[in-house]
């Protein structure tokens, strides 16, 4: 089954990582894959553009079905291979509702994280303002405190109930990204415990971004958050 799948991906990208974790959780290994470089602009190559006219990664295909949105790909994999590997959508209505809520809240976390991390890359130098940087950092701080609170009230070690679910598949890469960019482990103890507690889960360990393993250089973009 996995031989019918192709994944074009970039190391360190939370959207790419989500899809790779989902594939591992569903025991879908041996798929066709190609690691591309964002730095070399390989995500704008013809191979990617043919699959994904937005020129973004991941670009994912199963048979003739193309799913380039990472959430869509993860939900599709669970739907099509629900009896295979680990079950990623809980049966309990309360846990399922919380799972979907946390999943889609993860998109807000991603946006606010990107507003801080990519500010100098996205905003031309002449248009940058200290007030905007301050506002973005305050918004991200508020967002992270929200997630710290969610985990404080959690009934288990996961984002939605007592089992690993699509909420963790989709949001964990974003939380790991925060720590990769220097988020304080001391300031957010519950978030840190969640981050460290899932590092050794087989699907996460097997798909850990190779560039993060290669480079020991610490990032401090988020040290003040």
What are 151-183's pLDDT values in tens digits? Answer: 999 888 899 989 999 999 999 999 999 999 999
Pair 79, 72: CB distance under 8 Å: no
Selection from 137, 150, 160 nearest residue 191 by Cα: 150
- Domains of the chain, CATH where assigned: 2-81 (3.40.30.10), 93-214 (1.20.1050.10)
**What are the CA-CA distances from residue 222 to residues 111, 114, 217 (Å)?**
15, 11, 15
Q: What is the pLDDT along the chain (225 residues), one digit of tens a residue?
A: 688 999 999 999 999 999 999 999 999 999 999 999 988 988 999 999 999 999 999 999 999 999 999 999 999 999 999 999 999 999 999 999 999 999 999 999 999 999 999 887 788 888 889 898 899 999 999 999 999 999 999 888 899 989 999 999 999 999 999 999 999 999 999 999 999 999 999 999 999 999 988 766 668 889 998
CA 107, distance to chain mean position in Å, is 9
């Amino acid at each position: 089954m996995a031989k019918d799948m192709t994944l074009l991906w970039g190391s360190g990208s939370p959207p790419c990582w989500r899809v790779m974790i989902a594939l591992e959780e569903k025991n879908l290994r041996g798929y066709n894959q190609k690691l591309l470089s964002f730095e070399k602009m390989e995500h704008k190559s013809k191979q990617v553009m043919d699959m994904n006219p937005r020129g973004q990664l991941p670009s994912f295909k199963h048979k003739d079905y193309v799913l380039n949105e990472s959430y869509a790909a993860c939900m599709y994999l669970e739907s099509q291979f629900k009896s295979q590997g680990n079950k990623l959508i809980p049966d309990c209505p309360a846990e399922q509702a919380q799972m979907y809520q946390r999943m889609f809240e993860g998109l807000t976390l991603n946006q606010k994280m990107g507003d801080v991390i990519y500010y100098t890359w996205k905003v031309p130098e002449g248009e940058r303002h200290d007030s905007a940087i301050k506002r973005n950092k305050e918004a991200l701080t508020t967002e992270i405190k929200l997630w710290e609170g969610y985990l404080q009230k959690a009934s288990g070690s996961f984002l939605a109930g007592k089992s690993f679910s699509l909420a963790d598949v989709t949001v964990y890469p974003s939380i790991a990204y925060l720590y990769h960019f220097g988020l304080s482990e001391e300031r957010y103890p519950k978030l840190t415990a969640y981050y460290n507690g899932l590092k050794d889960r087989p699907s996460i360990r097997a798909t850990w971004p190779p560039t993060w393993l290669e480079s020991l250089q610490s990032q401090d973009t988020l040290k003040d958050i």
